């Protein structure tokens, strides 16, 4: 993988995580954002990069690595944005959407939050690596069907 591809993957994932982290404190939307971050970050980033002409599905290895990078980097921006939003809502407005999670973010030491974020980042990287793997095969399957139909077979 080249540096340009890795840089673009990280930038798009960070932006997706930032947007999801801003939307996550909204009740009922937070679970949807967590699901998107957990499973759909890699497919969204990969499909966007394919549509923009920045990424091509050349190997399964590149798809898995891209998925893991996108999941891990999206977790960081999602977690930090969500934590900052929850601290602001809790301290300034006395609003919490998840009492346990807000109490953990506000009252825990920074090192414990960082360990938790890294642990969740590894989980996000693993699930998004698998999603990247599935994305590769689904897009390859769709391309094969399109090529068969265009040849008239």
Rounded to whole angstroms, the Cα distance separating 130 from 134 reads 6
* pLDDT computed for residue 99 by the predictor: 85
Residue for token pair 């920074």: 110
Both tokens assigned to 89: 């809502």
pLDDT for the residue 85:
94
Distances (CA, A) of 50 to 7, 12, 42, 102, 115: 15, 13, 12, 38, 33
Q: What is the predicted pLDDT for the residue at 1?
A: 76
| pLDDT for the residue numbered 82 | 95
Instruction: Supply the pLDDT for residue 96.
Output: 87
For residue 13, what is the DSSP state? H
Alpha carbon distances (Å) from 16 to 91, 144, 151: 26, 30, 38
In the chain (153 residues long), the average pLDDT of successive 10-residue segments reads 92 97 93 94 96 90 95 96 94 88 90 95 97 95 91 69
pLDDT for the residue numbered 153 = 58
Contact (CB, 8 A) for 67 and 130: yes
């Amino acid at each position: 993988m080249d540096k340009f591809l890795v840089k673009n993957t990280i930038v798009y994932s960070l932006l997706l995580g930032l947007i999801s982290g801003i939307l996550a404190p909204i009740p009922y939307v937070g679970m949807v954002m967590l699901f998107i971050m957990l499973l759909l970050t890699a497919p969204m980033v990969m499909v966007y990069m394919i549509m923009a002409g920045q990424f091509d599905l050349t190997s399964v290895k590149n798809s898995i690595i891209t998925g893991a990078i996108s999941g891990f980097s999206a977790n960081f921006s999602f977690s930090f944005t969500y934590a900052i939003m929850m601290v602001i809502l809790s301290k300034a407005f006395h609003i919490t959407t998840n009492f346990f999670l807000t109490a953990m973010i506000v009252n825990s030491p920074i090192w414990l939050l960082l360990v938790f974020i890294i642990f969740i980042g590894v989980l996000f990287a693993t699930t998004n690596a698998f999603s990247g793997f599935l994305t590769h095969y689904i897009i390859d399957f769709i391309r094969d069907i399109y090529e068969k139909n265009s040849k008239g077979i």
